[in-house]
Structure 1
């Protein structure tokens, strides 16, 4: 089985499964939500989520994967790609990632410590009467 699509919204999953079934492509869905249990909570775009527990559509037969990807592209959906976030970061070298933010923050801290140190040295020299 190959993963072809994932979404936090069950409606999107059902529509993709229906579309692929119309084209004769057999699918399996994992991580489906159970709506009648007490722990059900509505989907929220503002909640940060890694996507690991989102429902996933899998192609049952590997030979159908190419055709399934073509069907999804026809309706404007880019099929799931392994390591998509890492690929996007590598393709945009100027993009700000967590490592870039940490590097900039350490440079700013170093500059501030140097400025405070220089002010301290000037203050001590002024108190000694050198300036």
Structure 2
């Protein structure tokens, strides 16, 4: 059951624009030291004597640096993520940052190729 204070906060949030919501999320992350990123399941310890050499199926694409062609990298990030210009610029300038999380190996390789063609230094984790 929502209290009156909670209802007021929700009503105020409903009035915000997308950019204002993004700023709010960023401020909450910084204030409380949390992340709004989807939680990633952590695999348990391997059974005793069992080989732990399972092939990784999900990859994070990490933008390490944007190199000399920052504008081209921003364009590539916008194309890959669907972010707006300001959000893509902030992501690129904040490198190292995750561009895509939990991507399949094929998707991650394709994204890495696009970003490297644009002049970025990229790493798959």
Which band: TM-score by shorter chain?
under 0.3
Decide which structure has greater strand share: 2
Larger radius of gyration: 1
